[in-house]
Amino acid sequence: MTDELKSSRTALNRLPARGHYDFETIAAILDEAYLCHVGFVTNGQPYVIPTIYGREGELLYLHGAAAGRLLNATAEATAICVTVTLVDGLVLARSGFHSSINYRSVVMLGSAEPVEADRKDEVMKIISDHVLPGRWEELRPANDMELEQTSVLQMDIIEASAKVRSGPPQDDEEDYALPIWAGTIDFQSTSAVARPDDRLHSDAALPEYVKNYRRPQG
């Protein structure tokens, strides 16, 4: 494990033992999740916007609207913060203070810029494949108007940290004698249910990539 993505801004001050700064750990979390939250400040007002993303090597691609605040913020070279969190379970301790959740999270700092127009379709496929591999090839191609109304941003993953909490509760020693149930509720199911659209064409068969879809799990 290395600290290649660690900086004074991403170093963990609280519970530093849970921190990870190697690209392998951070990439694994990013590859399992597909929803991120992007924080930025524009005109003195902070915003946090949820959006989907994709990763290609050390580049993170963010999906947004061409008329949205995020694109305007990046046009002003505004610094952004991108966070991703996976919740793995609940930690039920014998006290409220030590109760927690098991999770894996990533915080990335930097700036983003629009993807060049001639690469937009290619990068939108990367984002689509990140969420559901195989879906992009079945969709009708995006038209010029849709491409114009969609923004795709790219951000170098160069300053980041991961934070991971796993395992049982960690109570005060004297509390282990209390007759209170303690342990974890683990979210281990990766199953998903496909519900067809009410207006689905009668000839539209359920694709194998939908039928066999399972949430990825590290």
48-76 residue pLDDT tens: 999 999 999 999 999 988 767 887 777 66
Cβ atoms of 89 and 185 closer than 8 Å: yes
Q: Give CA–CA dist 11/101, Å, rounded.
A: 21
Tell me the per-residue pLDDT of 79-127, one tens digit each, with 9 for 90 and over.
899 999 999 999 999 999 999 999 999 999 999 999 988 899 999 999 9
Cβ atoms of 87 and 101 closer than 8 Å: yes
151 has a pLDDT exceeding 60:
yes
Cβ atoms of 34 and 131 closer than 8 Å: yes
Q: Tell me the DSSP string of the chain.
A: ---TT--TTTS-SSSGGGEE--HHHHHHHHHH--EEEEEEEETTEEEEEEEEEEEETTEEEEEEETTSHHHHHHHTT--EEEEEEEEEEEEE-SSTTT-EEEEEEEEEEE-EEEPPGGGHHHHHHHHHHHHSTTSGGGSPPPPHHHHHHEEEEEEE--SEEEEEE-SS----GGGGGS----EEEE-----------TT--TT-PPPHHHHT------
77 has a pLDDT exceeding 80:
no
70 backbone dihedrals φ, ψ, rounded to 5°: -65, -45
Cβ atoms of 92 and 158 closer than 8 Å: no
* % of the chain beyond a pLDDT of 90: 56
Q: Give CA–CA dist 74/82, Å, rounded.
A: 13
Residue 59, exposed/middle/buried by CB under 10 A (0-12, 13-18, 19+)? middle
Q: Give CA–CA dist 51/151, Å, rounded.
A: 11
172 has a pLDDT exceeding 90:
yes
The reported pLDDT for the residue numbered 189 is 62
73 backbone dihedrals φ, ψ, rounded to 5°: -65, -40
Domain residue spans in the chain?
16-211
170 has a pLDDT exceeding 80:
yes
* % of the chain beyond a pLDDT of 70: 94
The reported pLDDT for the residue numbered 210 is 83
The reported pLDDT for the residue numbered 24 is 95
- Domain 16-211 sits in CATH at 2.30.110.10
pTM, to two decimals: 0.86
Tell me the per-residue pLDDT of 14-34, one tens digit each, with 9 for 90 and over.
878 888 889 999 999 999 999
Record the tokens describing residue 25, joined without a space.
Answer: 């750990």
Higher-pLDDT residue of 217 and 61 is: 61
If we measure between CA atoms, which residue out of 193, 171, 192 comes closest to residue 183? 171
